[in-house]
């Protein structure tokens, strides 16, 4: 693929090839991308995604140009369009990794960029395909299988791009069941649910976390995200509603895992870190490997 804009670009075969390469890159540092330059173009603040991509590029021998808080950059403050910024940055680098506040911004960038563009998150209701890829890789690595998996997604489903992206990937597999657990105000949007229906993925919606996760193989916890819920009263109402305590984790079935895109802000208590179900910090390491595989694929012309 030339650009990575959304998870719908993948089929099962391409995911298998990407994840096979991901596993091969564990512990690897080489010069396969020597002489290549990646531009980190982040119009929104980021820690994990930006540093993960930059670490991935450096571990493969490439170079990095980085811009965080791009909306405060000189060109943005002067009114330069996104399209013009991409045309300029593409002269400096071999690949662009971009995060932007507007849904559809990655697709806009891809239409004018002569070099590959990777969507590192576009808007709170857009997509975050590389996060979804590392989520799926984590699930497969930890559970040891691809099919017959029950995933419970908890918390902020309306304003969280990662579970949206993951739902599209899960539809590629067999016997997948999804339980959406949220308040009525933060339910998953209809476009994702319609996609699951069209692809024969069974799902239910509930407000009951205890009941919803008891049979789950994967509990995907999310942050309520104050930056996306502008009403303070609504934020305070939502943020304490679904919290994974050690008691909640201990009640999960044997072999089940808890994942989270991070950062967490109280929705998983620190005592859960010692649970055998907690894999969210291992997930960070898996994410580095997935992003190494993506850079290797997109810059060295590997077929997936």
Residues annotated as part of the active site: 48-49, 78, 99, 128
Give the Cα separation of 255 and 142 in Å (integer). 9
Q: How many CA atoms lie within 13 A of 186 on its CB side?
A: 29
Q: In angstroms, how far apart are the furthest CA atoms of the chain?
A: 56
Sign of the four-CA dihedral 31, 97, 5, 135: positive
CA trace torsion 36, 42, 46, 51 (10° rounding): 10
Omega into 269 within 30° of 0, i.e. cis? Answer: no
3-class DSSP state for residue 96?
strand
- Our measurement of the distance from residue 263's CA atom to the centroid of its chain's CA atoms, rounded to an integer in Å, reads 12
Phi-psi region of 69 (alpha: psi -120 to 50; beta: other; left: phi over 0): left
DSSP-H helix ranges across the chain: 12-24, 48-59, 74-77, 82-89, 105-112, 129-143, 161-170, 190-198, 209-213, 232-239, 246-250, 280-299
DSSP sequence for 113-182: -SS-EEEEEESTTS--HHHHHHHHHHHHHHHS-SSSEEEEEES--TT-HHHHHHHHHHTTSSSEEEEEE-
> Which residues face 285 on adjacent strands?
none
């Amino acid at each position: 693929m030339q650009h990575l804009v959304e998870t719908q670009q993948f089929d099962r075969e391409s995911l298998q090839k990407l994840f096979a390469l991901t596993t091969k890159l564990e512990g690897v540092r080489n010069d396969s991308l020597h002489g290549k330059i990646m531009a980190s173009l982040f119009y929104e603040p980021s820690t994990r995604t930006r540093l993960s991509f930059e670490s991935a590029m450096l571990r493969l021998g490439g170079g990095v140009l980085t811009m965080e808080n791009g909306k405060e950059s000189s060109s943005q403050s002067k009114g330069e369009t996104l399209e013009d910024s991409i045309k300029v940055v593409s002269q400096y680098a071999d690949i662009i990794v971009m995060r932007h506040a507007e849904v559809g911004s990655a697709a806009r960038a891809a239409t004018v960029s002569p070099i590959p563009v990777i969507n590192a998150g576009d808007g709170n209701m857009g997509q975050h395909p590389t996060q979804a890829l590392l989520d799926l890789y984590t699930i497969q690595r930890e559970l040891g299988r691809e099919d017959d998996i029950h995933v419970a997604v908890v918390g902020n489903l309306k304003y969280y791009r990662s579970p949206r992206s993951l739902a599209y990937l899960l539809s590629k597999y067999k016997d997948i069941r999804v339980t959406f657990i949220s308040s009525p105000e933060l339910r998953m949007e209809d476009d994702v649910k319609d996609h699951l229906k069209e692809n024969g993925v069974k799902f239910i919606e509930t407000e009951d976390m205890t009941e919803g996760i008891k049979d789950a193989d994967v509990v995907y916890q999310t942050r309520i995200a104050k930056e996306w819920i502008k009403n303070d009263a609504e934020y305070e109402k939502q943020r304490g509603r679904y919290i994974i305590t050690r008691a909640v984790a201990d009640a999960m079935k044997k072999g089940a895992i808890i994942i989270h895109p991070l950062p967490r802000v109280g929705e998983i208590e620190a005592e859960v870190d010692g649970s055998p179900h907690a894999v969210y910090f291992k997930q960070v390491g898996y994410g580095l490997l997935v992003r190494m595989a993506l850079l290797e694929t997109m810059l060295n012309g590997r077929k997936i």
